[in-house]
Every structure is written in structure tokens, then in C-alpha cells.
Amino acid sequence: MDKPFSPSARRIAIILLLAASVITFLAIGAYFLTFAPRNGFQLSKNDTAWANFGNYAAGVLGPLFTFLAFVGVLLTIWLQAMQLDSARQQANLEEFQRVLANVSGRIDGILAQPPSQQIDHYRMRNAPITVFTIISAAGTAALSKPTDYIVEATNGTLIVASKQAIATEMTAIGLELDQLAWCLQEYIKQTGNPAVVAFYKRRFGAVTCWIDAIQSLDSHPFIQAVFAPRDFRRVMQPPTS
């Protein structure tokens, strides 16, 4: 939220002070030019003359200052309304960021867990097998363009077996990625920080690209629209074997 005396409020205060100063100068200047020549440009020692000047100043400057004060009140109300709108928008953006963090955390949790079914292609590995490991291997195989038909057939078998092993997890990941994509779209509509959007696109760009490569994102238009996994393929494309 803005500070109580924000730059906008300071600018308005300066404008009102300048307007009051200019009006005061013009009003007194007009009185001076009208009556000063009669007195030889000397200050009058007549109480009546000073009383007349006071009445003139009060009659001319009083309503003008009252009007400026009224304008100042209106501008203050407008500034406060703008600050409240800004505070509400900021609160909405912060809530969206919390939701984005929660959804991405759930996706990371699914990717880090072991698959519900084991497959022979990964049994000989020393490292722990996770859903992410299977997605990355199957996605890389799907993106590759082997020139050897035996390698191509092996990749096809790997992709089919991988999709069967993580079928349950893929359904959950698809739903969570769909929620993440929707939240990012709404966050953009709320004029959210583009760096936040770019971060999530980079964070899950490879995963969405691999999942799309094994044809598991065709029914998720939000993910396709936000993450554009097929545009990301030129970065993830492995060397031709």
C-alpha cells in the first residue's frame, strides 16, 4: 500500500499551493495597480482604506480558497480510492502467487514420487526411479529422430511401457498443470509480474514438452496455450542418432 503522503498527493498539494499563490498574486496585484497610483505608490495610513482592502481580499480570495480547499478534498478522496483499488489488486496478485506456489509444489511432489508400476527398462538403474525420471526418458525418446529402425522400435516400446507405468500419475499431473496454466492466465489478466509467469513457464517447460511429446496433453488446451510445449521442442530436441 502507498505511504500516507504519496508522490501523487505531494504533486497535488504543490499544484494547489501554486494555484493559490498565483490567484493571490493576481488579486492583490490588480488591487495595487488600481489604487496605488492614487496614493503615489505609498502605503495608506487611513484605517478605512485598510478596511476596504481587507473586505476586498476576503470577498475575492475567500471563495477562491474555499473552492481550492473543496477541490483538494475531492482529490484526496480520489487518491484514497485509487490506493484502496491498488491495495485490493495487490492482495489479489499475492493470493494468486500463493496458489501458484501450492499448485507447483503439488506437481513437484508427484514428479518426485516413485511410479505406481515398475517397468523392466529402468530396473538396472542405480539411481532411484521417479515419475520425473520416466517422463524425461520417455519424452526424450519421443523427441529423438533416430535413423536406425531398431533404435526407433526400442524407443517406441519404451514410450508405451512408460505411459502404462505412470498412467495414474499422468492423470494427476495433467490436472495440476491445467490448474497451473489457468492460474497463470488469470494472473496475467490481473497485470501480474511477467517475471513470475516466465519463471513458471521455464520451470515446467521441459516437463510439459516431454509429456506433450508422448501425446498426453492433447486434451489440455490451457496447458497448450500457456506453456506452448511444441514451441519448446526445438530446445529439447536431442541430437539425431
pLDDT digits (tens, 9 = 90+) for 146-202: 777 777 788 888 888 888 888 899 999 999 999 999 999 999 998 889 999 999 999
Q: Give the max Cα distance, the chain.
A: 116
Whether residues 137 and 85 fall in one domain: no
Position 179 in a domain? yes
Q: How does pLDDT run across 77-110, given as a tens digit for each residue?
A: 887 888 888 888 888 899 999 999 999 999 999 9
Position 94 in a domain? no
Q: How does pLDDT run across 187-241, given as a tens digit for each residue?
A: 999 888 999 999 999 999 999 999 998 887 777 888 888 998 888 887 776 655 5
**Cell numbers that stand for 27 in this block:** 488579486
Whether residues 78 and 128 fall in one domain: no
Position 198 in a domain? yes
CA 228 – CA 236 distance, rounded (Å): 13
Which of 45, 73, 89 represents a domain boundary (last residue)?
Answer: 89
pLDDT for the residue numbered 6: 60
Whether residues 117 and 231 fall in one domain: yes
Which of 56, 89, 122 represents a domain boundary (last residue)?
Answer: 89
pLDDT for the residue numbered 29: 77
Q: What total number of domains does the chain contain?
A: 2
Position 106 in a domain? no
Is pLDDT of 5 > 60? no
Q: What's the burial of 146, exposed, middle or buried (CB within 10 Å: 0-12/13-18/19+)?
A: middle
Q: How confident is the model at residue 62 (pLDDT cuts 50, 70, 90)?
A: confident
Q: Which residue has the higher pLDDT, 67 or 143?
A: 143
Whether residues 176 and 209 fall in one domain: yes
Q: What's the burial of 72, exposed, middle or buried (CB within 10 Å: 0-12/13-18/19+)?
A: middle
Position 241 in a domain? no
Residue found under cell 496605488:
36
Whether residues 42 and 128 fall in one domain: no
Whether residues 136 and 229 fall in one domain: yes
Whether residues 119 and 217 fall in one domain: yes
Whether residues 223 and 155 fall in one domain: yes
Q: Domain residues for 161?
A: 113-236
Whether residues 137 and 74 fall in one domain: no
pLDDT for the residue numbered 1: 40
Position 41 in a domain? yes
Whether residues 32 and 119 fall in one domain: no
Q: Which of 66, 65, 68 is nearest to 76 (CA)?
A: 68
Whether residues 170 and 65 fall in one domain: no
Q: 194 vs 93, 95, 177, CA distance in Å?
A: 12, 16, 19
